[in-house]
Structure 1
Amino acid sequence: MKVGELMTILDEIAPFKDSEKWDNTGLLVGNGEDEVTGILTTLDCAHETVDEAIEVGANVIIAHHPLIFPNVNQVVESGVGAVIRHLIRNDISLIAMHTNLDHQPEGVSHMIAAVLGVAETEVLIKHEYFYKKLRVNIPKENAEQLKQDLVHAGVGHQGDYSECFFQYPVKGQFRPGYAADPHIGTQGELEHVDEYIVEAIFEAAHEKQVIEALVASHPYEEPAYDVLTLKKPSDKGLGVKFDYSGTLTDLVALIRDRTGHPVVNVVDAGNDGIKKVGIIGGSGMSYISEAFSEGIDVLITGDVKYHEAYDAKLAGRSIIDAGHYIEALMAEGMKKLIEKRTDISVHATEINTSPFE
């Protein structure tokens, strides 16, 4: 398997298009044509991580946190530059799966919940999915060919299903002008024709290529079509939530026991018992209002500031600051997702990259 082929698999796990605009995901260091000898999964790519990859025979590192961000403006033998040079000297590719992995149902927050012993979770803050719907009139005998051509342009994909179309018969009419070159009918004469209306959805980002494919495939000189903008709740989003029965103290102990990570701080808003728990791995306090509007009793996240905690307590919201580094649990979770799709050797890092330890 080549690195480029591995990228295709990773895109199926967590599409890179789901990354935030400010993020830097994908192949950051390396060559898509290189053969993959092994994979190392990790939260961060540090100098020691590269050494570990060499030791286990892996020439691809998949990290959650991007090593290269816009503020990196030189690659020298210090700081981030030293790690990049270490990767290049040893011909190791580096792939970042950051916010694209955060926004998946089986992403980082779900991986944390799985370590807590929770197998079933649901997305905490669901994203609205904007998509386009194509509606086009086509002569009955040309409908099947049009659908085939539109599929190649990215039309008709709905979740785990492909080639999803609706069609129904209609009567069309038109009068070709004297400058027209009609596929059916005669210039200046009114024409009636049996047509189908074909409908299907596609991703908004693909509109240009879809219209180009439609025009190229359609037999009419001037195809009649509409493109509608629609939205619906997605099965993707940020964080997860799950049912829980116990106290805040019980939950804190569970986190410590199951993850092996210390809990940094706890905001106890005095809730009597916990029935619903939310997790946003990393730094989730900017989403606190949306998270609690989903009916959770406590939010597990990291990087909680003093005033954020103070405001949360005043609002009656319990918070467990499990630290940003709890996301390191994704190394094992990512390993399992990759192993379901390939026989390539995958190792989860054993290196602790926490800056606080």
Structure 2
Amino acid sequence: MLKISDFLKKLDKIAPFSDSEHWDNTGLLVGNENDTVTGIITALDCSAGTVDEAVMQNANVIISHHPLIFPEISKVVNEGPGAVIRKLIKNDINLIAMHTNLDHQKNGVSHMIASELGYPETEILLPQKGNFKKLRVNINTENKEEFKENLLKNAPVGDMGDYTEVSYEYRVHGQFRPEDRANPTIGEAGKLEHVDEYVIECIFDGREQGAVIDAVRKYHPYEEPAYDIYSLDRKADTGLGVKFKYGDTLEALVKLIENKTGLKPVNIVKAGDGIINTVAVIGGAGMSYSEAVFHSGADVLITGDVKYHEAYDAKDRGQNIIDAGHYIEVLMTKYLAALIEEQIDVPVQPSKVSTNPFE
């Protein structure tokens, strides 16, 4: 049986909650970590209708993209978000939000939109500068393999893109003299000791530094392991939005969106008649990033919630914009359900309840 606490760890592998923006509210918003998962509904928003749907499906978990509790609320009464919260509690349904943490993944919401359009081969549009660090730790030859296996399997190190347990090693020669109060694994107190060792190197997320150090001390046979940690200047494999190669007109792209999604774009900013070679997608409201988007080489930005003056300025700058509406993010429900089904053996259903306020 899968507990909510363990399920959250599974979700963290899909889209780490630590990748959420500082202002966001993600993770378990309503519920009990000790509950057993019976079924899951994925939704763009959690409405009263979504809760009714979960009850009908015998699902006690709803995963919404948009947080129900956002921003902070000061009371829970039987209206607005409070009414939905009360309904969740009465029916023992857990609510989990996966918002900007899902947005920031290479297979996140923007990628899901591009995939629905028939373009699954995407790259991150605006990569984040990663807080990557490198661990270098010395280990004696006799204990190298055991230590390396424990470190790579149990510590948050060695993940590089689609690869795990990545490490590098090379031989070194070390020396040390234990003081009288030391309790050395190798050698004797007061005597200079020479040892053949290996250096093991691996990359890790800088936010996990405490856990990495704890693991080194736990699995290393030495009383005082010799290790170094270096900061690295490299981009992460996370970021905002995606882009893909296209090669047709703006009008053809608009028709493609309508045909593939069943949603009619809200507004179009056409700044020229040229061929659209590179399409950028930022699900939700992405106009605040438009300068960086077009600086990256995009010919058009598909996003939502475009304001009049944003559109006016974009056209003046020669930038093509497709306002596909914020609700286009609803496409994420079936793709997230598929990602979750790869992790667990529990029924997962995309919500069939429309939360589109413009219908």
TM-score under structure 2 length normalisation:
0.91
Which deviates more, 50-59 or 316-325?
50-59
Counterpart in the other structure of 2:106: 105
* Structure-2 separation of matches of 1:354 and 1:77: 22
Residue 306, structure 1, aligned to residue 305, structure 2: no
Letter in 2 for 1:256: E
Alignment correspondent of 1:253 = 255
Larger deviation, residues 25-34 vs 312-321: 25-34
| Conserved? CA contact 1:271–1:318, under 8 Å | no
Counterpart in the other structure of 2:357: 355
Deviating beyond 6 angstroms after TM superposition, the runs of 4 or more aligned structure 1 residues are none
Does the Cα contact within 8 Å between 2:131 and 2:207 map onto a contact in 1?
no
Deviations 1:190-242 (CA, angstroms, capped at 9, x unpaired): 43322222222222122223223323444444433211111323332211111
Q: Partners of 2:46 and 2:38 in 1: how far apart?
A: 18
Contact 1:4-1:32 at 8 Å conserved across structures: yes
Aligned equivalent of 2:265: 263
Summarize deviations over 1:100-123 as a string: whole Å, max 9, x none. Answer: 111122211122122222232222
Tell me the distance in 1 between the aligned counterparts of 2:150 and 2:336: 36
Name 2:238's counterpart in structure 1: 236
Structure 2 residue identity aligned to 1:86: K
**For 1:320, what is the secondary structure of its paired residue?**
strand
How much does 1:177 deviate? 4.7
In structure 2, which of residues 291, 294, 310 is the aligned counterpart of residue 292 of structure 1? 294
Aligned amino acid, residue 38 of structure 1: G
Matching residue of 1:75? 76
Aligned partner letter, 2:307: K
Q: Distance in 2 between matches of 1:301 and 1:26?
A: 25
**Any residues of structure 2 matched to 1:69-218 within 5 Å, and which?**
69-151=70-152, 152-177=154-179, 180-185=182-187, 189-218=191-220
TM-score (norm 1): 0.91
Deviations 1:298-354 (A, max 9, x none): 000011112221221122111111111111111222222233344433222222212
**1:127-186 CA-partner distances (Å, limit 9, x unpaired):** 222222111223222323332443323233333433333222222233445665554445
In structure 2, the residue matched to 1:53 is 54
Using the alignment, how far apart are the partners of 2:97 and 2:5 within structure 1?
A: 14
Percent identical across equivalent pairs? 58
Report if the CA contact (8 A) 1:59-1:91 is conserved: yes
For residues 219 and 33 of structure 1, do their structure 2 counterparts lie closer, same or farther at Cα, with a shift above 3 Å needed? closer
Q: 1:268-308: per-residue Cα shift (whole Å, max 9, x none)?
A: 11141211111100011111122112221000001111222
Measured after TM superposition, the shift of residue 245 of structure 1 is 2.4
1:321 — aligned with what? Answer: 323
Which is further off, 216-225 or 269-278?
216-225
Give the C-alpha shift of residue 89 in structure 1: 0.7
Q: Secondary structure at the match of 1:52?
A: helix
Partners of 2:219 and 2:345 in 1: CA distance: 40
Pick which of 332-341 and 306-315 moved more: 332-341
Q: In structure 2, what residue type is equivalent to 1:172?
A: G
Query: Which residue identity does 2:168 align to in structure 1?
Result: F
CA distance in 2, matches of 1:219, 1:258: 58
Match of 2:30 in 1: 29
SS of residue in 1 equivalent to 2:234: strand
Instruction: Please identify, of 77-86 and 12-21, the stretch whose mean Cα deviation from structure 2 is larger.
Output: 12-21
Query: Corresponding residue for 1:345?
Result: 347
- Give 1:17's aligned residue: 18
1:162 & 1:188 partners in 2: Cα distance? 41
- Using the TM superposition, name which of 215-224 and 250-259 deviates more: 215-224
Quick one: distance in 1 between partners of 2:188 and 2:54?
71
Q: Which amino acid aligns with 2:9?
A: T
Q: Distance in 2 between matches of 1:234 and 1:198?
A: 22
Superposition deviation, residue 32 in structure 1: 2.5
Find the aligned partners of 1:251 and 1:147 in 2 and give their Cα distance: 50
- The alignment covers a number of residue pairs equal to 357
Tell me the C-alpha RMSD between the 2 structures: 2.2
Deviates more, 1:18-27 or 1:164-173: 164-173
Counterpart of 2:352 in structure 1: which amino acid?
E
After the TM superposition, which of the residue ranges 85-94 and 327-336 deviates more from structure 2?
327-336
Q: Which amino acid aligns with 2:231?
A: T
Q: How far, CA to CA, are the matches of 1:96 and 1:268 in structure 2? A: 35
Describe the SS at the equivalent of 2:52.
Answer: helix
Q: Give the Cα–Cα distance (whole angstroms) in 1 for the partners of residues 32 and 161 of structure 2.
A: 31
Quickly say closer, same or farther: Cα 1:29–1:187, change in 2 above 3 A: closer
- Larger mean CA deviation between 177-186 and 324-333 belongs to 177-186
